[in-house]
Chain A
Amino acid sequence: MKKQSLLLSGMKDGIPIALGYLSVSFGFGITAVGLGISVLNSFIISLTNLTSAGQAQGVSIIAANGSLLEMALVQLIINMRYALMAISLSQNLDKSFRLRHRLIAAYGITDEIFAVCATRKEPIKPMYMYGIIIVSTAGWTSGTVLGASAGTLLPSNLISAFGIMLYGMFLAIIIPPAKKSFSVLLVIMVSAGLSTICKYLLPFISGGFTVIICGIAASLIGALLFPVGEEKKA
C-alpha cells in the first residue's frame, strides 16, 4: 500500500510534465515525419531516448545520413548535462534505491523529472520516481505519435502556445525557493545572466553546452559565496 501511494504521488507530480511533454513531443513528431522517418520509428526514438534536444538533433543526423560516430558524439555533448543531474540526484536517494532501481530509473533522468526530484526535501524513493517516469513517458511518446500522424490538423497558434508550458513549470519550481533564500536567488540571476550573454554574444555555443557552462559557473559562485551546511539544505 505504501508503495502504491508513493507511485501514485509520483504519477500526480508527473502530470504537468506529461502535459508539457505532449506539446514538445508533438512538435518532434511533426519534424521527424517531415524528415522522412516513419511514425513507428519516431515513437521508438521517443520511447528509447526521452529527451528533446538530443532527439531533434538525432533525427536530423539520420536524415542527413550522418555517421554513427557523429551521432554518438552529438548525443554525448547535448546530453552531458544529464550526467551532472544524475550526480546531483544520487546524493539525495533513499536507502531503498538499490542498484537495480538505479539502473532502471536512470532512464528517466530528464530536465523536468530531475527538476521535480531534485527540489524535494525528503530522499527520493524508487516508486515515486517510477511514478513520474511512467506518466511523463506516456506523455512524451503519445505526443510524438500524435504529432507524427496528425500534426498538421491542429491550429498552429494552439501548438505554439503549448511551447511555453515547460518553461512555465521551471519558473514554478525555482521561484518559491528563491523567495526564501537569497543565495538561491543570486544563483538563479547569475545563471540567467550568463545564459543570456551566451545566447546573444556567443551564439556559436550550442544550447546544451550553454546550460552546462552556466549551470556550473553559477553553482560555483553560489558554493564559494554561500556554502550550504547539512542542516540548511533548503
Chain B
Amino acid sequence: MSIALYILVMAGVTYLIRMLPFAFFQKKIKSVFVRSFLHYIPYAVLSAMTIPAIFYSTGNFITAAAGTVVALILAYFNLPLIVVALAASLTAFGIDFLPF
C-alpha cells in the first residue's frame, strides 16, 4: 500500500481528534463540577505522563532518578522550564560518567 495513504489517514485522524472539540466547544461551561474537573485535568494528565515514565526516560534508572531529583528541587524553587529541563538532562548525562 502507498505510504502516502497511511500518512493521510494518520494525520487526518490525529487532526480531527484535536480539531473537533477545539473548534466546536465554544460555550463556557457553567457547571462548577465540570469546570473544576477541567481545572484539574492538566495537572492530572501531566502527572500521569511523568510518573513513573520519567524513571525510564534515559534507559538507566540511576541517571534518570538523579535527573528527577534535580528537576524536583529546581522546580520547587520556581526556576524557568528550560532551566529545569536542561539541568535534569545534564545531571543524567553527568551521572552516567561516574564509575558505578
Which residue numbers of A lie inside 8 Å of B, CB to CB?
A: 13, 15-16, 19-20, 23, 37, 41, 44-45, 48-51, 54-55, 58, 61-62, 65, 68, 71-72, 75-76, 79-91, 99, 102-103, 105-107, 109, 111, 114-116, 118-119, 157-158, 160-179, 183-184, 187-192, 194-196, 199, 207, 210-211, 214-220, 222-224, 226-230, 233-234
CA distance A166 to B82 in the complex (A): 10
Judge whether A88 and B96 touch: CB under 8 Å.
Answer: no
Most buried by B among A61, A85, A164: A164
Chain A residues with Cβ under 8 A from B6's Cβ? 58, 61-62, 68, 71
Residue B99 at the chain A interface, CB threshold 8 Å: no
CA distance A226 to B7 in the complex (A): 43
Chain B residues with Cβ under 8 A from A61's Cβ? 6
List, sorted by A's number, 25 A–B pairs whose CB atoms are closer than 8 Å: A13-B81, A48-B11, A49-B11, A68-B6, A72-B13, A76-B17, A82-B17, A90-B26, A103-B19, A105-B22, A160-B63, A160-B92, A161-B96, A171-B71, A171-B75, A190-B44, A196-B51, A211-B49, A214-B48, A219-B40, A220-B37, A228-B32, A228-B35, A228-B40, A229-B32
CA distance A79 to B21 in the complex (A): 13
One digit per residue, 1 when the CB lies within 8 angstroms of any chain A CB and 0 when it does not, for chain B 52-84 equals 111001111001100110011011101111111
Chain A residues with Cβ under 8 A from B34's Cβ? 223
Which B residue sits closest to A107, measured CB to CB? B15
Which B residue sits closest to A232, measured CB to CB? B39
CA distance A58 to B89 in the complex (A): 28
Which of A13, A49, A165, A173 sits near B46, CB closer than 8 Å? A173
Judge whether A219 and B23 touch: CB under 8 Å.
Answer: no
Which residue numbers of B lie inside 8 Å of A, CB to CB?
A: 1, 3, 5-7, 9-11, 13-15, 17-23, 25-26, 28-29, 32-54, 57-60, 63-64, 67-68, 71-72, 74-76, 78-90, 92-93, 96
Chain B residues with Cβ under 8 A from A16's Cβ? 80-82, 85
CA distance A15 to B83 in the complex (A): 11
CA distance A85 to B48 in the complex (A): 14
